[in-house]
Structure 1
């Protein structure tokens, strides 16, 4: 692995990102000295559940999927990390191993920092610790909403709620008031997040397409009736 030579323009962008803005200049320089750049191809594994937690990642481009199945392979935790976000937060400062697996949904580019160095510097910075707490609180709120929606008796409602969460989490302004997720999301992933079958997820999406609330083509979602999903 070759050490990345961070260009000044790119360094300035990373330095100003809220993930790193709480660090002092001296602290960030120490982190920068241990930042490494790596590219992963679509489908490659960054780490597996149970691997030693020796790296913290900052995603530059692309989309990462994190997941964990139970011992039976029946139940699955599934989430995504988009660009300009740090991961994983789970286990930071305490755990020795990763709690889930991480895969590249697209070709991705990440910086990684050795966990021991990043955590040692972070522990001495109150502002940075506060940011981590806020980030964890936001993640917790998102997961609480997912659990709440999973309790809905109607599979149709669960699929719609899942789509709404995906739009809010991953969507970007597209054109004429629409929002597009610029990453491929499969029917299987939508079904898993909704606690239903792939066939049911497909049927709900077909109905939404007929109602012109949503477009789904080649695994890409375009939300045409943004207000409808914001209400969910």
Structure 2
């Protein structure tokens, strides 16, 4: 069961507000609220895709690996929105793992129930289409950025994409990040990331301090995400 406050919190979110009251209440009856500590895995790559998740507090990241066990894809989950959207109405398993990178409070709900009600509601389907379009736009930007041969530029563009995807608090990324994680996202080495960060720090554009990324000049990254 969820609280009255949680009920109204969920109702105003875009992922639910287009549903009828009857549809929403039917979903709410099956929603569970949980808390998890940092480094807890919400689900593993290859698990049966039976639940959708929504992070209310804290942050999580998604990871996908190749056959050797090396990370080949890393991304971060927005608060207040359902995930994973990829594979909705289609896939049977999760294609990546989701791990809490801070302590989190989250909701889980049955995938099948949400899909059934969404299919019966044209306004909800319009919302999902808009959501897919926005996600596609972000991934198109990422793909465009990754094809550049300049490792330095890939690092800068990765920092710009993070700024686009994640709401910063007081000019900083609201969760810890390491040079290794930035390197994985940029398809380059930790040494290259450190070199680029040093250069940007000298220009007072960004700073990575104790795993906290500060954006001192957000305007600098605008051209990389337009």
TM-score range, shorter chain: over 0.9
- Find the aligned partners of 1:172 and 1:12 in 2 and give their Cα distance: 25
Three-state SS of the structure 1 residue aligned to 2:133 is helix
Q: 1:188 aligns with which of 180, 192, 200?
A: 180
| 2:18 and 2:124 in contact (8 A); partners too | yes
Q: 2:101 aligns with which of 100, 105, 122?
A: 105
Three-state SS of the structure 1 residue aligned to 2:56 is strand
Three-state SS of the structure 2 residue aligned to 1:56 is strand
TM-aligned CA deviation for residue 75 of structure 1: 5.7
Match of 2:199 in 1: 207
Please give the residue correspondences for 1:24-39 in structure 2 after superposition, counting only pairs within 5 Å.
Answer: 24-39=20-35
Provide the aligned C-alpha RMSD in A.
1.3
| 1:92 and 1:119 in contact (8 A); partners too | yes
TM-aligned CA deviation for residue 204 of structure 1: 0.6
Match of 1:121 in 2: 117
Instruction: State how many pairs are aligned.
Output: 224
Match of 1:162 in 2: 158
- Find the aligned partners of 1:138 and 1:224 in 2 and give their Cα distance: 26
- Find the aligned partners of 2:79 and 2:208 in 1 and give their Cα distance: 22
TM-aligned CA deviation for residue 87 of structure 1: 0.3
User: TM-score by structure 1 length?
Assistant: 0.92
Please give the residue correspondences for 1:60-139 in structure 2 after superposition, counting only pairs within 5 Å.
Answer: 60-74=56-70, 76-139=72-135
TM-aligned CA deviation for residue 9 of structure 1: 2.7
Q: Which runs of 5+ in 2 are unaligned?
A: none
| 1:62 and 1:82 in contact (8 A); partners too | no
User: TM-score by structure 2 length?
Assistant: 0.95
- Find the aligned partners of 1:140 and 1:108 in 2 and give their Cα distance: 27
- Find the aligned partners of 1:60 and 1:153 in 2 and give their Cα distance: 38
Match of 1:146 in 2: 142
Three-state SS of the structure 2 residue aligned to 1:19 is helix
- Find the aligned partners of 1:223 and 1:151 in 2 and give their Cα distance: 24
| 2:58 and 2:103 in contact (8 A); partners too | yes
Q: Which runs of 5+ in 1 are unaligned?
A: none
